[in-house]
Structure formats: C-alpha cells, structure tokens
C-alpha cells in the first residue's frame, strides 16, 4: 500500500494504525478478557469503536502522520481528543 501510494502522489494516500490490544464486547468471553487487560494495566488497550473513530477522522481530515503508523498511544490520545474536543 505504501509503495502504491508513493507511486501515485496526489491521487492516493495511505494511513496505518498499530494498536496494542483491541478489546471487544462481541461476546461474554471477549468482554471479560478485555476487562482483565484494562484493569491489569499490563498493556494499554483500545476499543474497536475508538480505532474506527480515529481512522475515519484521519481519512476524512487528512493523515496526521503521513504514511507512518499511528501507535497505540497516539490512537488513544486521538480518540480522547475526538471524544472531548474542547480539552
């Protein structure tokens, strides 16, 4: 994707996310696993909803880091900013 975007400047842009752990409430087991990860604090997690919101914002408003991947911390900060834009 990066190579394709580089060969088509002005026509195609590429953006990437590199989350740590994506939590889900799709079923009981995943909900418990996500809660345990969140409570333990061992690894920062991010919800699917937050990743979708951030990536849609990136697509609609321009990629903040170009073709560099947004890491988990950046994803969490961007999600928090989208939820509370006045902060």
Task: Please count the other Cβ atoms lying within 10 Å of the Cβ belonging to residue 19.
Answer: 21
For residue 83, the model assigns a pLDDT of 92
Q: Is the pLDDT of residue 87 over 80?
A: no
Phi, psi of 44 (to 5 degrees): -70, 135
Q: Cα–Cα distance between 45 and 58 in angstroms, integer?
A: 20
Question: Where are the domains positioned within the chain?
Answer: 17-83
Contact 33, 58 (CB under 8 A): no
What's the pLDDT tens digit per position in 32-69? 877 777 777 776 777 888 888 998 998 888 887 766 78
- Mean pLDDT score across all residues of the chain: 81
């Amino acid at each position: 994707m990066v190579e394709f975007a580089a060969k088509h400047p002005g026509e195609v842009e590429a953006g990437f996310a590199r989350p740590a752990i994506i939590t889900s409430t799709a079923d009981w087991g995943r909900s418990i696993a996500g809660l345990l990860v969140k409570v333990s604090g061992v690894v920062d997690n991010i919800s699917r909803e937050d990743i979708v919101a951030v990536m849609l914002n990136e697509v609609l408003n321009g990629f903040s880091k170009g073709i560099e991947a947004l890491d988990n911390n950046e994803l969490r900060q961007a999600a928090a900013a989208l939820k509370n834009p006045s902060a």
